[in-house]
Amino acid sequence: MGTLEGDELRALAGPFWHPSLPDQVEIRLSRAALQCDHILIVGPTFPHEVVGFSGGAKYLFPGISGPEMIHATHWLGALIGVVGVIGIADTPVRQVIHAAARRLPTPVTLVAAVVDECNLAGIFIGDLYAAWERSATLSGKRHIRWHERPFRRVLSHVPPMYNELWTAAKAMYKVEPVVEDDGEVIIYAPHLEIVSRVHGRYLYEIGYHTLPYFLAHWDRYRHIPLSVLAHSTHLRGAGKIENGVEKPRVRVILASRISPEECHRLNLEYLDPRSIRLEEWQGREAEGVLYVPHAGEILHRIRKE
């Protein structure tokens, strides 16, 4: 289906373009999508850490596309940062995805659902772009919880459906915007014992770090798939380099079946999940302590943003 050339990608990325992005991105898609008469996409829309809101053309790119698009979009999202992307409809990553989707000759109809817990809040059917935009607007109303002030400590309780740290990291993505500087997020997942079945070897090699850390040591990490580097920065959150030392904005503590030794290899702090008493965390928002049950579904943001 062609390529996104460097100049086009640079224009779409705007001020977030960086030389670590590829010079060109090959646009590849499952052959079935090119051989059929019509494509029907059915899926939900939620706040998303890479593209802003999930759904729509994201089911094509990177959904059934080649690894080039997966790596490029995820790394662009990492360059922007989770707080600058998640819960925002019009992002450079979404623009890249739409630029690729517009080269698809097959007609597409979208059925975009917005689900509020177990209930259907809305369903939008029609044009790929218009139906998605309407679903993202409703998702922004149903899936974002606004707070008046940041929190010093957050306990994100991960549901069992996230059975790898690769997906359980949503417990950090969706609360980072409400954590104050030098605050902490505890990813409480007493069932979790696997980092990633597919990407674990890379993550144990590189650990979890902030974006400035990887950019400062690019020659050491440039062989790692960009989507893996992006995931690492997303979970570790924002940060900076001071006098050559990495300074994450937020402490990330993992309370799971992953051992203290493994957490050290991953550059994460460890907490024994057996030490956590949920009742001690609940109802303390006025004290700067937030408990998030079923973490990973609702995005938390500060109202003044």
Residues 154 and 301 in one domain: yes
Residues 160 and 81 in one domain: no
Which residues form the domain of 40? 1-142
Residues 115 and 161 in one domain: no
Taking Cα atoms as reference points, which of 95, 103, 107, 25 lies closest to residue 66? 25
Pick the last residue of a domain from 142, 171, 192: 142
Q: Is 142 exposed, middle or buried, given 0-12, 13-18 or 19+ CB atoms closer than 10 A?
A: middle
The CATH code of the domain that includes 239 is 3.90.226.30
Residues 76 and 175 in one domain: no
pLDDT at 305: 52
pLDDT at 288: 97
Residues 125 and 150 in one domain: no
Helix (H, G, I), strand (E, B) or coil at 24: coil
Pick the last residue of a domain from 90, 107, 142: 142
Residues 96 and 176 in one domain: no
DSSP conformation letters of 192-261: ---S-TTTHHHHHHH-S--HHHHHHTHHHHTTS-HHHHHHHHHHH--EEEETTEEEESSEEEEEESS-HH
pLDDT at 157: 98
Give the count of domains, the chain: 2
The CATH code of the domain that includes 70 is 3.40.50.11440
Pick the last residue of a domain from 142, 176, 194: 142
Taking Cα atoms as reference points, which of 150, 104, 161, 159 lies closest to residue 129? 104
The pTM score is 0.94
Per-residue pLDDT of the chain (305 residues; tens, 9 = 90+): 788 888 999 999 999 999 999 989 999 999 999 999 999 999 999 999 999 999 999 999 999 999 999 999 999 999 999 999 999 999 999 999 999 999 999 999 999 999 988 899 999 999 999 999 999 999 999 999 999 999 999 999 999 999 999 999 999 999 999 999 999 999 999 999 999 999 999 999 999 999 999 999 999 999 999 999 999 999 999 999 999 999 999 999 999 999 999 999 999 999 999 999 999 999 999 999 999 999 998 999 999 75
Residues 131 and 153 in one domain: no
Kindly report whether the peptide bond that precedes residue 62 is cis, defined as omega within 30 degrees of 0: yes
Residues 159 and 195 in one domain: yes
Residues 166 and 250 in one domain: yes
Residues 154 and 137 in one domain: no
Residues 241 and 290 in one domain: yes
Residues 130 and 219 in one domain: no
Residues 175 and 212: their CA atoms lie apart, in Å, by: 21
